[in-house]
Amino acid sequence: MQEASSLDELRLQLAPAVASAAVFDGWTPEAVRQAALAEGIDPALAAYAFRDGPMAMISAWIAHVDAAMTLAVGGDALSNMPIRERIRRLVSARLEAVAGLEEALTRALSIMAMPQNLAASARLAWHSADVMWRLAGDTATDYNHYTKRAILGSIYAATLHVFARDASEGKAETRAFLDRRIEGIIRFEKAKAQFVRRPEERFSVTRMLGRIRYPAR
């Protein structure tokens, strides 16, 4: 195994093994120790890399999922798909990367929901949504850039909660939930496009009130 050249690389290298250990040990120093032993890494070095605690472990795991998704559906893999299918494929790739680790995922979601971790969790969700939209081909730089990422981040977070407890065959409940939410994104984007069309075509409250007060003759 190639030796990591920085602590960031080491955390990323150990992240999948830490997540696997977290199924049994939670996001704890023991999970880090078990991961280090499994990967042939000095446990003391691994403990130092994750000295900031559970959120450092979870952040590394999310970075690993970002990388796994990019590897699975990056490049031209999405180029000929409609936008709804691109988003579906991207989220599905993330879910495939955490499949079999539902217990670790449940524990991670609980830790991320703690008040002291909400800001860091929001930043992680935003970054993952940004990666997804960029892979989907989004180049928006105006307010659309922010609304798209906020909406997708919230949908992905909700889908993770469904996925973590989904006992249906083939995660059918999760797929159905995701499909409904993606259709919601598409409807919202279409409605937003109507709302922000050419200025002369927009509905104007001021114009309407003016016509009420001074009706056309």
* Per-residue pLDDT tens listing for the chain (217 residues): 455 669 999 999 999 999 999 999 999 999 999 999 999 999 999 999 999 999 999 999 999 999 999 999 977 888 889 988 999 999 999 999 999 999 999 999 999 999 999 999 999 999 999 999 999 998 887 888 888 899 999 999 999 999 999 999 999 999 999 999 888 877 766 666 665 555 554 445 445 444 544 444 4
What the block records as the tokens of 137 is 């081909």
Cα 49 to Cα 18: distance, rounded to the nearest angstrom: 12
Picking from 12, 21, 5, 23, the residue whose alpha carbon sits closest to that of residue 50 is 12
Q: What is the pLDDT of residue 106?
A: 98
Q: Please tell me the pTM assigned to this model.
A: 0.83
Helix axes 102-112, 54-73, angle to 10 degrees: 120
Which amino acid belongs to residue 215? P
> What single DSSP character describes residue 94?
H
Q: Can you tell me whether residue 182 is helix, strand or coil? A: helix
Predicted confidence at residue 203, as pLDDT, reads 47
Cβ–Cβ < 8 Å for 167, 130: no
Q: Tell me if 171 sits within 8 A of 107, measured CB to CB.
A: no
pLDDT score, position 5: 66
What is the pLDDT, as a whole number, of residue 212?
A: 45
CB 39 within 8 A of CB 13: yes
End-to-end CA distance of the chain: 83
Give the contacts of 179 (CB within 8 A, at least 6 positions apart): 88
